[in-house]
Amino acid sequence: MGGVVEVWSKHGIQITVLFSLVFQLLLFAIPIARRHSWLEKRKHLARLNNLVLWLAYQLADTTAIYALGHMAISSSPSGERRQLMALWAALLLVHLGGQDTITAYALEDNRLWKRHLLTLLVQAAGVFYVIPVNRGSNPRLSFAAALMSILGVVKFAERIYVLRLSEDMNKVFDLVSWLEPPTTETYTRPVAPTQQEDRNEQEEQALKLAHHLLEFSMGKFIDAEVGLSRYPRSIIMEHYDDNGTLYNLVELQLSLIHDKLYTKTPAIHTWLGCLIRAFSWLATAVIGTMLVFHFVRSSSSSRNYSGGGFDAAVTLTLLAGAFLLETASLLKAAGSTWTVQILDRRGWDGRMVLWFRRLVKAAECNRSWPGFIGANVPVSEVIKCDWGFSSSIQKIEPDTKWYVLNQIRWMVYLCRGNEEQLRTSRGELWLQRLSVPPQLIQNKITNSEFDESFFIWSFLSKNFVKYGSDLDLYSTDRMQLLRDAIKQISGYMDYLLKEKTHMLPPPVRHRRKYDNLVSKENNEIYDVLISGDELTMEAKMEAVLGVWVEMLCYAASYCNRESHARELSNGSGEFVTIVWLLRAALFKAFYPDDDGTQESARTNR
């Protein structure tokens, strides 16, 4: 124990600043890694990534503040070591400026930009106290500390600017609208791909189309009435029956919206942002090169003070890490899909950027939705375990996604252009196909609170699926797929009810669940389901699933818009958000505005 205390007393500052560098590396790498396609098969690794990212985000600023405080009260007999401490303080200020891949871990962080500003002032004061206190006679170290301090202030100011901008969803929407690509087919075309690059080419094309639809989807987050112009509508109608493309387009849009809300994207792709990154990279490279020559030429003098070569190694490690981060940030910004879009909007050729993106397979790797949804134990187990049921994360089956999208298409068709009916329906559209009396639908579904109708349908669908099992009706593959889809969607809704009530419209009363499970056992709608002979069992199963999809769409439409944005903090969002945007886009495409060419019409601003 005494040895640990001795090491910490001698090298505590060095260890702390190295930890700060490690946290910055994690903050840069994890947001990229958690959107990588290989996470689709590793749900536990995805959870671990989020946990490590949260820890790094929370500890990064704390570690830097602690190190600055330690430097302010420490003393060293060596003048050069004091100057190195001044340089470390400046590098800590650069760390506090954050990484391009994350500015806010949660939506609430954007609203706390004033707190971050106050933190900047305090930390900057600490840095500018440490630097003159530890000044020395070496001009190279003094110049390096001064230059890195200026760079740190600039980067932190940029972080505050992004946090303040992202606080207001309307400002983000205005920025997205300003960056909207041309409405005609003038987007930069990638160079001809080789046969092995077909997938990456498809992803680039999908990103291109997602940018065209981004303004419409972003408008949903602020309840702005944004119409689909002719070209975006033609995109949807061209792929109306292509489930994979439709899902992919929405997932890509959510990743782009995440960029605007939780990263430095709003500031990166501006002239000032480009200058900051170029200056930052150049300054780090110059300082690093200068200090390497300094330590090589004066290696003997660097050992005349306590710490010796270890201090030099720490300094070079910090500079190497800073240079690595600046280089990666510069390349990421230069090769971003936003860069391609901006070049195209200005009429410049973006083929070189697209070639670089294909070389590193950027589109293929970094825009995937992990495909995980929450699930709870079956409703029948709720009473047995006295509300102690646990949630889990499971991979949503491709067949479930296919059925959900197919049900949404049917909903769009059945509403006959009545968007209000599509938005407010909680099962009416599909229950009418089962010949359920309208009065019964009103009493049990329409006139009930959302949570009550949800509990009724949970109990009903569980018993109906069990009824099919008792009669051994799941011998065919299609019936089994329908059964599994019902279980997965109902389990997901149950998960939202228990774990993420903010994703459901109020009221959400857990006690009601027990009451309805008991009192609705002899449900009249269930009697209609099992007694009606005019429809096959398969058609009834489709209708049961259809009601669940209607409830999912209803929940998505009537929950707080900020709830959708808040869930994007994990980099991908919830499945209910994907369903919400799919339903809105398919309706607008299937029932276009009268002139068919409506551009953005913003209301409720």
Burial grade of 444 (CB within 10 A; 0-12, 13-18, 19 or more)? buried
Q: Average pLDDT, stretch 57-72?
A: 88
d(CA 99, CA 89): 18
Element housing 512 (H / E): helix 510-519
DSSP code for 51: H
Q: Determine which of 17-26, 140-149, 504-513, 551-560 has the lowest per-residue pLDDT on average.
A: 504-513
Sequence letter at residue 452: E
Segment 4-20 shows an average pLDDT of 86
User: Residues in the chain, how many?
Assistant: 605
Q: Which tens digits make up the pLDDT trace of 276-299? A: 999 999 999 999 998 888 887 766
pLDDT at 300 over 60: no
Output the pLDDT for position 479. Answer: 87
- Tokens coding 140: 């190279």
Question: Which of the 8 DSSP states describes residue 396?
Answer: P
Kindly report the average pLDDT of the chain as a whole number.
Answer: 80
The string of pLDDT tens digits covering residues 202-222 is: 777 788 888 888 999 999 999
Taking the C-alpha atoms of residue 107 and residue 99, their distance in angstroms, rounded to an integer, is 17
Instruction: Please tell me the distance from the alpha carbon of residue 520 to that of residue 90, in angstroms, as a whole number.
Output: 67
Residues 6+ apart with CB under 8 A from 43: 370, 372, 393, 394, 395
Coil, strand, or helix at residue 409?
A: helix
CA torsion sign for 205, 211, 212, 218 is positive
Is the pTM value of this prediction over 0.85?
A: yes
Q: Note the pLDDT of residue 155.
A: 92
Q: What CA–CA distance (Å, rounded) separates 409 from 404?
A: 9
Q: Which of 242-256, 445-459, 495-509, 553-567 has the lowest mean pLDDT?
A: 445-459
Q: Mean pLDDT over residues 177-185, rounded?
A: 63
Query: Are the C-beta atoms of 116 and 104 separated by less than 8 Å?
Result: no
Cα–Cα distance, 518 to 382 (Å, whole number): 12
Q: Which is higher by pLDDT, 586 or 450?
A: 586
- Model confidence at 26, pLDDT cuts 50, 70, 90, reads very high
pLDDT for 454 equals 85
Q: State yes or no: pLDDT of 13 exceeds 60.
A: yes
Compute the distance between CA of residue 452 and CA of residue 497 in angstroms, rounded to an integer. Answer: 12
Backbone phi and psi for residue 600, each to the nearest 5 degrees, phi listed first: -60, 125
Q: Domain locations in the chain?
A: 2-167, 377-571
384-420 pLDDT, tens digit each: 333 344 557 788 899 999 999 999 999 999 888 888 8
pLDDT at 381: 43
Least confident of 20-24, 190-194, 228-232, 240-244: 190-194
Whether the pLDDT of residue 195 is over 50: the answer is no
Mean pLDDT of 224-233: 82
Task: Determine the Cα–Cα distance for residues 52 and 31; give it in Å rounded to an integer.
Answer: 11
At residue 360 the predicted structure's pLDDT band, cuts being 50, 70 and 90, is low
CA dist 337 and 339 (Å) reads 5
Q: Is there a contact between 114 and 173 (Cβ–Cβ < 8 Å)? A: no
